[in-house]
Amino acid sequence: MEERHMGPVRAFETEQIRSEYKPAAPAAKGVLKNSQEADLVLDASGFELPEGDVILDHPSGLATDGGALAVADRWHNRVLYWRSAPASNTPPDRVFGQSDPRRVDAGGGRGQLASPASVALSPDGRWVVVADTRNDRVLLWNGVPEKDGAPADVLLDLPQVTRKIPPEQPAWLPRGLPPAVSDERPSPGPTPGLPRFGPSAPLRWPWGVWTDGQRLAVVATHGASILLWNRIPTEDNGAPDLVLVTPGIRSPRAVTSDGKSWFAVADVDPAGAQRMRTLFWSSYPTNRHQMPDFEMPGWLKGSFLPDGHLLLAGNQDVRLWDRPPTAADDVAALHLRPPNQSAWLGPDAVVAGGRLYVTSTSRQQVLAWNSIPSTTNSPPDFALGSKTVDEDVWSSSFRIHNPLLASDGVRLYAASARDRKILMWDRLPDESGALPDRVIHLPESPNDISAHDGRLAVTTAEEVYFWERPPVLNAKPDRILPGTFGGTGLAELSGVAMDAERFFVSDRKAGVVHVWNGSPKPSQEPMFSLLMSEPGRLASDGRLLLAASSGDEPPHLWRLAHLQADSESEMIGNPNRLRFASQVLMVEGQLIVANRLAGQVDVWNSVEDAVAGLPSNVQIGARSESDRAPLPLRRELVHPASVAWAGGFLWVGESRFASRILRFRPEPPRSQP
């Protein structure tokens, strides 16, 4: 496959890609089955990585013992380890979490990982510690193993560890659900509330780990706690000596320390403020009531150098202190701001073998300098994860976050609010990793997308873009419908749908779904509006209008045969099971719901059964009751938020922590005996 990289693009410019892929023949008639495997993946490297240079996907934590380098390759479910700090984008000497360097599968075995967020190496090189985040555990290797995917020597399962902590230690603090400020924040559990110790409320989501070879510190994001061991545990599930809970901490992530006089923890989502901050202690905590001495804005994470200097990477810069800061207004001796870099989610910085390495998570790179820079704008010398330091790997490989899917039966579209673009396949691909044929750049973030009979409609919060035919090079929409249709005031557009006769737009804040005959003109008012609390994404098959909820209600539907202004909606499914469902479709007699929080796609063979609240007939991506978090596997889904039906296939788009587009082929029904 080849692609042409363009310079800066303008709004509505359509980037043509020289993409070559095998087109799919229409799927034979069949049925979807429980827990069936996906047969194809788009918007990812594939189910396996190609051979050659290192490819990273959301690299986060870094670690060194002075000479070696370790990188937590989070979305590839592995940790890469170089015995000597690499001088170019060369393959690692060892891979933790995968038995084959090309594999990216998540898993729960002692030698497997699921979205590892950070890694630590003891200064003597004896211990390798990994925060196995989605598995709710910390894995420790006593020495670097001789083969890839070797099992860990010690396993700290945080829910099990929780049960060993005395109930009086620590004193739990009330906290509700944090506001959504970052798509990197883990989703709340099914029964949020005041955390308590005990089997019903274990600590979860270890994100940050640190060790000096003697002590161990682990940050538990769920439970907002910092677990401290005075000695590295050498047996599974050893209880910590201290659990620190600080008032106001909501989502702690990274930990940095010298193990003596300085300790810092980054908090992504402090109580009462939609911002990031880092809390600092002027001594290593030894008391569960020990409060931080000061704080600084931003997510800061880094490491100490042998000479006592401190490196901290922030969201857009790297700071070097001659000595650790002791107050909020302490200024770093150097602020390094590499050119052409956007915000770094999950920053980290280490010096290994004399080279400076800094994560650039949003661009899928680890930037490297051959020596510590002395000026603010010093460019990196090379990068791990890309051929050049200037390459935006995410964009150049045509990845998008949280894909919103749509199809007119011939073409496949995937839109992304965060990336402000639409990927377009002119034909339905039949191979994993197929690049799109076009990329449509949008001026604003899309909230929904709909395609029908060659037409395309996209809604942002304030406008609807409409194409009468598939977009081509430099094609602007045929119509842009403003935030007010005639005299109808629209507060926040959240969904769009069309069929052969009607056009629908939902308004989340106003709590209405507007209905037109045909495609509306900018001055044309709707025929009427339907009432629904916080309507979200829409779909129509010509018989049913289906609306997901932007709030916590299950989806709704209206029957179009007798639709009028006072038509009442019917609720789909069990309210407790379909809260926060992201999208619903009706295709070939089946009702399909993207059940995001449950981590599955529910399929009913009958609309009436779904409206009656009966269980779905098929669950795709469903996991066992013992699983604590969905994993990005062929048969498991991570926050499925979007679905489309095209070519006889079910296409599913994931949101957060995976962002894959998966295809499921209906299987031939079993013959009756």
* Per-residue model confidence (pLDDT) at position 105: 86
CA distance 415 to 598: 23
* Per-residue model confidence (pLDDT) at position 182: 33
In sequence order, which residues have a C-beta less than 8 Å from that of residue 60 and are 6 or more positions away? 72, 74, 117, 118, 346, 348, 359, 361
- Name the token pair of 146: 């001789």
In sequence order, which residues have a C-beta less than 8 Å from that of residue 648 and are 6 or more positions away? 26, 27, 28, 29, 30, 665, 666
What's the rounded mean pLDDT across residues 428-436? 93
Q: Is residue 576 part of a domain?
A: no
Residue 662 predicted with pLDDT over 90: yes
Q: Is residue 508 part of a domain?
A: no
Are the CB atoms for 369 and 377 separated by under 8 Å? no
For residue 444, give the nearest of 413, 465, 474 by alpha carbon: 465
Torsion, Cα 536 539 545 548, to 10 degrees, reads: -30
Residue 110 predicted with pLDDT over 90: yes
Are the CB atoms for 369 and 380 separated by under 8 Å? yes
**C-alpha 437, offset from chain centre:** 25
CA distance 444 to 41: 27
Q: What is the pLDDT of residues 530-583, one digit of tens each?
A: 999 999 999 999 999 999 998 888 999 999 999 999 999 999 988 888 888 999
Peptide bond between residue 170 and the one before it cis (omega within 30 degrees of 0): yes
Q: DSSP for 222-260, please give it.
A: ETTEEEEESS---STTPPPSEEE--TT--SEEEEEE-SS
SS3 296: strand
SS3 625: coil
Measured CA to CA in angstroms, residue 162 lies from 153, 234, 239, 281, 425 at distances of: 20, 17, 8, 24, 48
CATH number of the domain that 132 lies in? 2.130.10.10
CA distance 172 to 245: 7
* Per-residue model confidence (pLDDT) at position 392: 80
For residue 497, give the nearest of 530, 471, 473 by alpha carbon: 530
Q: What is the pLDDT of residues 434-470, one digit of tens each?
A: 999 999 999 999 999 999 999 999 999 999 999 999 9
* Per-residue model confidence (pLDDT) at position 184: 34
Q: What is the pLDDT of residues 247-296, one digit of tens each?
A: 888 899 999 999 988 999 999 877 665 689 999 999 999 988 899 999 99
Q: Indicate the number of domains in the chain.
A: 1
Measured CA to CA in angstroms, residue 640 lies from 510, 572, 580 at distances of: 26, 18, 11
- Name the token pair of 544: 């049913």
Are the CB atoms for 366 and 355 separated by under 8 Å? no
Q: Is residue 662 part of a domain?
A: no
How does DSSP classify residue 48? B
| Number of alpha carbons in the 13 Å side-chain half-sphere of residue 493 | 29
The confidence band for 166, taking pLDDT boundaries of 50, 70 and 90, is confident
Q: Is residue 204 part of a domain?
A: yes
* Per-residue model confidence (pLDDT) at position 196: 33
Domain that holds residue 256: 59-169+200-395
Are the CB atoms for 137 and 117 separated by under 8 Å? no
Strand order, beta sheet including 355-360: 349-352, 355-360, 365-369, 382-384
Q: What is the pTM of this model?
A: 0.86
CA distance 47 to 70: 23
- Name the token pair of 350: 């280490």
User: Which residue has better confidence, 103 or 622?
Assistant: 103
Q: What is the pLDDT of residues 512-527, one digit of tens each?
A: 999 999 988 888 889 9
- Name the token pair of 50: 């190609």
Q: Which residues pair with 601 in a beta bridge?
A: 594, 620
- Name the token pair of 614: 């009966």
The confidence band for 625, taking pLDDT boundaries of 50, 70 and 90, is low
- Name the token pair of 104: 């990216």
SS3 333: coil
The confidence band for 1, taking pLDDT boundaries of 50, 70 and 90, is very low
Are the CB atoms for 251 and 207 separated by under 8 Å? no
The per-residue pLDDT of the chain, averaged, comes to 87
* Per-residue model confidence (pLDDT) at position 482: 83
The identity of residue 664, as a single letter, is: F
* Per-residue model confidence (pLDDT) at position 400: 87
Are the CB atoms for 71 and 80 separated by under 8 Å? yes
For residue 165, give the nearest of 239, 255, 54, 58 by alpha carbon: 239
- Cβ neighbours around 293 below 10 Å, total: 15
Q: What is the per-residue burial (b if ≥16 Cβ within 10 Å, else e) of 601-631? A: bbbbeebeebeeeeebbbbbbbbeeeebbbb
* Per-residue model confidence (pLDDT) at position 2: 33
- Name the token pair of 56: 């990273």
Q: Is residue 612 part of a domain?
A: no
- Name the token pair of 220: 């538990």
Write the secondary structure of 335-383 as one string of H (helix), E (strand) and C (coil). EECCCCCCCCCCCCEEEECCEEEEEEHHHCEEEEECCCCCCCCCCCCEE
- Cβ neighbours around 666 below 10 Å, total: 18
Q: Is residue 558 part of a domain?
A: no
CA angle 360, 380, 88 (to 5 degrees): 90
Residue 310 predicted with pLDDT over 80: yes
- Name the token pair of 261: 């006089």
How does DSSP classify residue 160? H
Q: What is the pLDDT of residues 182-237, one digit of tens each?
A: 333 333 333 333 333 333 457 999 999 999 999 999 999 999 999 999 999 999 99
In sequence order, which residues have a C-beta less than 8 Å from that of residue 608 and are 6 or more positions away? none
Q: Which residues pair with 561 in a beta bridge?
A: none
Residue 474 predicted with pLDDT over 80: no
* Per-residue model confidence (pLDDT) at position 272: 60
Phi, psi (rounded to 5 degrees) for 628: -95, -20
Hunting for tokens 């922590």 — which residue is that? 657
Residue 3 predicted with pLDDT over 50: no
What's the rounded mean pLDDT across residues 365-390? 92
Phi, psi (rounded to 5 degrees) for 664: -120, 125
CA distance 163 to 420: 45
- Name the token pair of 378: 């010093």
* Per-residue model confidence (pLDDT) at position 382: 95
Burial class of 8 by CB neighbour count within 10 A (0 to 12, 13 to 18, 19+): exposed
Hunting for tokens 């006769």 — which residue is that? 501
User: Which residue has better confidence, 237 or 46?
Assistant: 237
In sequence order, which residues have a C-beta less than 8 Å from that of residue 581 and are 6 or more positions away? 548, 549, 554, 555, 573, 593, 594, 595, 596
The confidence band for 14, taking pLDDT boundaries of 50, 70 and 90, is confident
The confidence band for 489, taking pLDDT boundaries of 50, 70 and 90, is low
Residue 7 predicted with pLDDT over 60: no
- φ/ψ region of 193 (left if φ > 0, alpha if ψ in -120 to 50, else beta) reads left
What's the rounded mean pLDDT across residues 364-391? 92
How does DSSP classify residue 667? B
Q: Is residue 522 part of a domain?
A: no
Q: Is residue 434 part of a domain?
A: no
CA distance 535 to 497: 12
- Cβ neighbours around 253 below 10 Å, total: 27
- Helix then strand then coil, in percent of the chain rounded to 5, is 5, 35, 60
